[in-house]
Amino acid sequence: MLIKTLRLALGQLIVLLDLLTRPRKQQRTPQAQAEVEQAAQHLALYQFHACPFCVKTRRALHRLNVPVALRDAKNNAEHRQALAEQGGKIQVPCLRIEENGQSQWLYESKAIIAYLEQRFA
C-alpha cells in the first residue's frame, strides 16, 4: 500500500514537472504544419499518463509540434488489448505507425523519439 501511494505521488510529481518545464513548440509555416498534421493522423502513442518514459516521448511530440493520438493503455481496456494483441506485448511507450495498410509497432522511448526526429524535425 505504501509503495503504491509513493508510486502514485511520484508519477504526479513527474507530470507536474513536465507541465512546468515543457519545451517550446517547433514553428512551421501553416502549409508545413498542415503536412505534419496529415502525416500524424497515421500515428498513435500507447502510453501511461505518469510513466517517465512516456512523459519523455510526449515532450518530444510537443517540442516537434506533432499532434499524435494518445491511447491510455493503463485505464482503457480496449487500448490495452490492442497493444497486447496487435503490438505483441504490453509495454509503453509504443508508437503505432500505419503506412500502406500495414501497422508497425515501435517500442522504446529512444527509438520512438529518433523516428519522430528523423521524420518531423
Please report, for residues 29, 49, 86, the alpha-carbon distance to residue 24 in angstroms, rounded to integers and kept in the order given.
16, 20, 34
Q: For residue 91, what pLDDT is reported?
A: 94
Amino acid residing at 104: Q
What domains, with CATH codes, occur in the chain?
Answer: 41-121 (3.40.30.10)
Q: Per this entry, what is the length of the chain?
A: 121
pTM over the 0.85 mark: yes
% of the chain beyond a pLDDT of 90:
74
DSSP string, 44-103: EEEE-TT-HHHHHHHHHHHHHT--PEEEETTT-HHHHHHIIIIISS--SSEEEEEETTEE
Q: Residues 6 or more apart from 21 whose CB is under 8 A from it?
A: none
Q: State pLDDT tens for residues 27-72.
A: 999 999 999 999 999 999 999 988 999 999 999 999 999 999 999 9
